[in-house]
């Protein structure tokens, strides 16, 4: 969409792509704590859209839609990361869960059951499940976040990455796919429903025959397993 002078018509693009910003914000909001406002996500995504307009270069090969989509989502994730809403105590607990999972996998040679993880943490199963609910709010988001390094967003346009960077990204994705394949069947199905089919927690609960709270627990546990595997293979 260009002006008579051959420049991008920013006003027309803004009008056309603002609905995309809202769709992305809505899709993201269902995975976040209730304290995160939709308007805040939309505002961050709009900033990302404006940045995309300023930085887009058609000569680099990527379409504007692809470039803008990545910038919008990246801006929303950056906004969420900057808030750092998870208390330090919960972060410490999440690290303790990861350590327990790592130790048990090494000892047992398989994915540990939640009862085994709870026993290793020396807490009743009910307390362990409550802990999973608490930590789930910090396990945000798409697979890119699991593969992020140094807290930096990986949602940059492929057109801006070198071939070597793209190769590294493909290798990380392959390690993630392999780690997912090693998850217990129910957690593997949950991850597919959540990230590929993009079902919300209520819908996933209906498929699995469990409550939304239980879906949160299973998701948190699956993410912990994946973090351990990716750290080991990284």
pLDDT number for residue 99: 94
Full residue range of the structural domain in which residue 25 is found: 10-83
Residue 189 has pLDDT above 80, yes or no: yes
Mention every residue, 6+ apart, whose C-beta is less than 8 A from residue 125: 114, 115, 118
Mention every residue, 6+ apart, whose C-beta is less than 8 A from residue 143: 173, 176, 195
Q: What average pLDDT score do residues 197-217 get?
A: 88
Residue 61 sits in a domain of what CATH number? 1.10.1740.10
159 pLDDT band, cuts 50/70/90, is: very low
End-to-end alpha-carbon separation of the chain, Å?
Answer: 42
The span from the CA of 48 to the CA of 204, in Å, is 30
> Does residue 82 contact residue 51 with C-beta atoms inside 8 Å?
no
For residues 23 and 139, state if they share a domain. no
Residue 3 Ramachandran class (φ > 0 left, ψ -120 to 50 alpha, else beta): beta
Distance of CA 50 to the CA centre of its chain: 23
pLDDT number for residue 88: 76
For residues 32 and 92, state if they share a domain. no
Condensed to tens digits (0 to 9), the pLDDT of residues 113-151 reads 999 999 999 999 999 999 888 777 555 544 445 544 333
pLDDT number for residue 149: 38
For residues 144 and 206, state if they share a domain. yes
Residue 197 sits in a domain of what CATH number? 1.10.10.10
Domain end among 37, 60, 83: 83
**97 is a domain residue:** yes
Based on the structure, what is the number of domains in the chain? 2
């Amino acid at each position: 969409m260009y002006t008579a002078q051959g420049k991008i018509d920013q006003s027309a693009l803004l009008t056309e792509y603002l609905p995309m910003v809202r769709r992305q914000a809505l899709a993201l909001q269902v995975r976040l704590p209730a304290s995160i406002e939709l308007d805040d996500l939309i505002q961050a995504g709009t900033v990302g859209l404006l940045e995309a307009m300023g930085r887009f270069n058609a000569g680099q090969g990527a379409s504007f839609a692809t470039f803008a989509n990545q910038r919008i989502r990246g801006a929303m994730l950056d906004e969420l990361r900057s808030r750092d809403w998870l208390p330090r105590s919960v972060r410490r607990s999440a690290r303790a869960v990861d350590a327990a999972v790592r130790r048990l996998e090494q000892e047992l040679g398989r994915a540990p059951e939640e009862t085994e993880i709870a026993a290793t943490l020396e807490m009743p199963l009910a307390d362990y499940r409550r802990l999973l609910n608490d930590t789930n709010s910090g396990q945000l988001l798409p697979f890119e976040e699991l593969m992020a390094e140094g807290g930096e967003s990986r949602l940059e346009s492929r057109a801006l990455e070198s071939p070597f960077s793209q190769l590294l990204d493909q290798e990380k994705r392959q390690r993630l796919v392999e780690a997912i394949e090693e998850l217990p069947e129910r957690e593997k199905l949950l991850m597919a429903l959540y990230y590929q089919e993009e079902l919300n927690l209520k819908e996933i609960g209906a498929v699995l025959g469990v409550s939304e709270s239980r879906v949160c627990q299973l998701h948190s546990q699956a993410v912990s397993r994946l973090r351990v595997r990716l750290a080991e293979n990284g």
